[in-house]
Amino acid sequence: MNALKYVRTRIYCMANITLSIPDDVRERMRKYPEIKWSEVVRRAIIEYLDDLTGSETRDSTYYAKIAERLGIRLEEIPLVEAERHYKKMRDLEWKRHSTTRMSS
């Protein structure tokens, strides 16, 4: 008996944008034809937008992934040190957001 297989697909409507990059960057990109550069740019834009919204869209799993990527074991950091790092990060984040150029 042959079983039918169903495949779900989603059709996404996406806007196209034109991106200008320096010639030397384009030449470097050509060395890696297997990379889908539009996906790299799409992810970079999403990540940047997430950075702009800050902690409003982030939870502890986001920070845990960063720590894991950096090889940091969060459970081994003393609370006093974690608070100090948090305050420093908060101040740097505030400075970064207050100096980000907004388009009009």
pLDDT per residue as tens digits for the range 26-62: 999 999 999 999 989 988 888 788 777 765 556 677 7
Enumerate residues 6+ apart whose C-beta is below 8 A from 85. Answer: 77
Please report whether residue 11 resides in a domain.
no
Please report whether residue 20 resides in a domain.
no
Please report whether residue 10 resides in a domain.
no
Domain that holds residue 56: 34-92
Q: How many domains does the structure of the chain reveal? A: 1
Report the predicted TM-score, pTM, of the whole model to 2 decimal places: 0.45
Please report whether residue 81 resides in a domain.
yes
pLDDT of residue 13: 75
Please report whether residue 1 resides in a domain.
no
Rounded to whole angstroms, the Cα distance separating 15 from 71 reads 37
Please report whether residue 68 resides in a domain.
yes
CB 97 within 8 A of CB 54: yes
Local confidence band at 101 (pLDDT 50, 70, 90 cut-offs): low
Radius of gyration for the alpha carbons in the chain, expressed in angstroms and rounded: 21
Higher pLDDT, 90 or 58: 90
Please report whether residue 61 resides in a domain.
yes
Q: What is the mean pLDDT of the chain?
A: 78
pLDDT of residue 63: 74
Rounded to whole angstroms, the Cα distance separating 41 from 44 reads 5
As a dihedral over the C-alpha atoms of residue 58, residue 59, residue 65, residue 71, rounded to 10 degrees, the angle is 110
